[in-house]
Amino acid sequence: MSDSSLNDFSPKTREQALQNAAEAGGFPESTDLLNLHAHTFYSFNYKDYSPSMFAVEAKKAGLGSAGIVDFDVLDGLEEFWNASRKLDLKACIGLESRVFVPEFSDRVINSPGEPGICYHMGTGFTTTEIPQAAQDFLDGMRITSGERNKSLLDRVNAFLSPLTLDYEKDVLPLTPNGNATERHLCLAYARKAAAQFPEESALRAFWSDKLGVPAGDLQDVPDGRGMTDLIRAKTMKKGGVGYVQPDSGSFPNMAEMNQFVLQCGALPTLTWLDGCSDGEKAIRELLEVGQASGVVAFNIIPDRNYTPGSPDQKLKNLQDVIKLTQELELPLIGGTEMNSPGQKLVDSFETEELAAVHPVFLRGAHILHAHSTLQKFAEMGYLSDWASAHFSAVKQKNDFYDQFGAIFSPRGDARLQQALTSEKAPEEVITLAKEAMAAQ
């Protein structure tokens, strides 16, 4: 069975392909490389990676820690968790969405051109068996996303006619559980245009007329990154015919999403773009707002926020915000999204700029792996009653989860589960982790 079977929309086919990959082995030694933010085909991955495929590719690349983050759904949770166990890969699972921050209603945060709107995350989800109130919130996000897509499609269809999409026939088949994103819409438009105008000159003439770009300047025709990004920019983003300015009713409030994340036993996580917007220039204030409703972790996609060898403002912003997370003892979650063609599997931590801060990202990866393992097995995660009872200071707590995460890997699961109970003190849990690993 080929590697491509790992991306098949059939769960049984992927499961067998994963089993084959695990049995074949031959993976390199794990390193300190990490990516805790890869999207999968349950939202949008430009290589169509399933959770299993991302786990296998991470293992092939020697990543020691890996995590998935999909938009508005937890559909890949169980698959990625099981894959991480088969492959002995330290792992965590997250969810991303957009939220409204009332306190920043007049300031752009990290959704360009959209005051008050913020990309926001929860990390460290360990189960899909969640309280009903949380399930209702999750279902609502999926429904709202679908309705938003359909309305957008109607507006763009009217503009691009005679090129039109049928949401059910042209878009939903691109993703296994119907959780389409704007990027799926762009890909569907690009592919349908190529079928409708099979001659490249006619295709370029069509897009030139509709998007207002000289035919010769169109890049990556028919459906590469340049083309799909242009379709998105000209039709779906601010200034485009399909764009509608979001307001306080377009997305849940940050506090509401934080409540959902907490109900699931996961960690509300603030996301950061590049520190250049008015909202992110007030990052301490934004963090105070987030922490008031539960934020305990911070997410950065480091590779895109600087140019190696160029000490510009973005690099300073990156360095400053990392220092802030250390000052506030916020576990730092890092990784590349893989939701646009050309993005890498892992950030370039070997560069001078990232090598200096790699230990901070590694500490965050250890903490999230430890939280996920202990929460899954005994409800002893980062925000559990057990953690509250044993750690009076955040640094003390971070040191424990960092130590556990550095020591333990999934091959010790069976041994750990046999002995782990919430009656154990932190030092006893560390001893169990060491014993579980020594027994392998």
Closest among 75, 74, 57 to 66, alpha carbons compared: 57
Looking at the fold, whether 327 and 364 belong to one and the same domain comes out as yes
335/356 same-domain check: yes
Write the CA distances from 420 to 370, 377, 382, 430, 436, integer angstroms. Answer: 13, 8, 16, 10, 11
Q: How many domains are there within the chain?
A: 2
Task: Confirm whether 432 is domain-assigned.
Answer: yes
Residues 421 and 287 reside in one and the same domain: yes
**Within a domain: residue 243?**
no
Q: Is residue 50 in a domain?
A: yes
Residues 315, 190 within the same domain: no
Same domain membership, residue 277 and residue 212: no
Let me know whether 333 and 381 are in one domain: yes
Q: What is the pLDDT along the chain (440 residues), one digit of tens a residue?
A: 568 899 999 999 999 999 999 999 999 999 999 999 999 999 999 999 999 999 999 999 999 999 999 999 999 999 999 999 999 999 999 999 999 999 999 999 999 999 999 999 999 999 999 999 999 999 999 999 999 999 999 999 999 999 999 999 999 999 999 999 999 999 999 999 999 999 999 999 999 999 999 999 999 999 999 999 999 999 999 999 999 988 778 899 999 999 999 999 999 999 999 999 999 999 999 999 999 999 999 999 988 888 888 888 999 999 999 999 999 999 999 999 999 888 899 999 999 999 999 999 999 999 999 999 999 999 999 999 999 999 999 999 999 999 999 999 999 999 999 999 999 999 999 999 999 999 98
pTM: 0.96
pLDDT at 306: 81
Whether 244 is covered by a domain: the verdict is no
Report how far residue 188's alpha carbon sits from residue 228's, in angstroms, rounded to the nearest whole number.
Answer: 9
300 lies in the same domain as 433? yes
146 and 273: one domain? no
Residues 308 and 394 in one domain: yes
115 within domain boundaries = no
What CATH number did the domain enclosing 434 receive? Answer: 3.20.20.140
Query: What Rg value do the Cα atoms of the chain yield, rounded?
Result: 22
Domain span at residue 145 reads 141-235
Whether residue 311 sits in one domain with residue 183: no
- Shared domain for 95 and 149, answered yes or no, is no
Q: What pLDDT does 229 receive?
A: 95
**Looking at residue 308, what is its pLDDT?**
83
The vertex-247 CA angle with 252 and 134, nearest 5°, equals 5
What are the strands of the beta sheet with 117-123, ordered from one edge? 34-38, 65-71, 90-100, 117-123, 267-272, 297-300, 332-334
Model pLDDT, residue 2: 62
The per-residue pLDDT for 334 is 96
> Is position 297 within any domain?
yes
Same domain, 156 and 208: yes
Contact present, 99 and 120 (Cβ < 8 Å): yes
Q: Would you say residue 72 lies in a domain?
A: yes
Residue 3 falls inside a structural domain: no
Structure token digits, residue 430:
């560390």
Q: Give the C-alpha separation, 9 to 173, whole Å.
A: 10
Dist CA 416 CA 406 (whole Å): 15
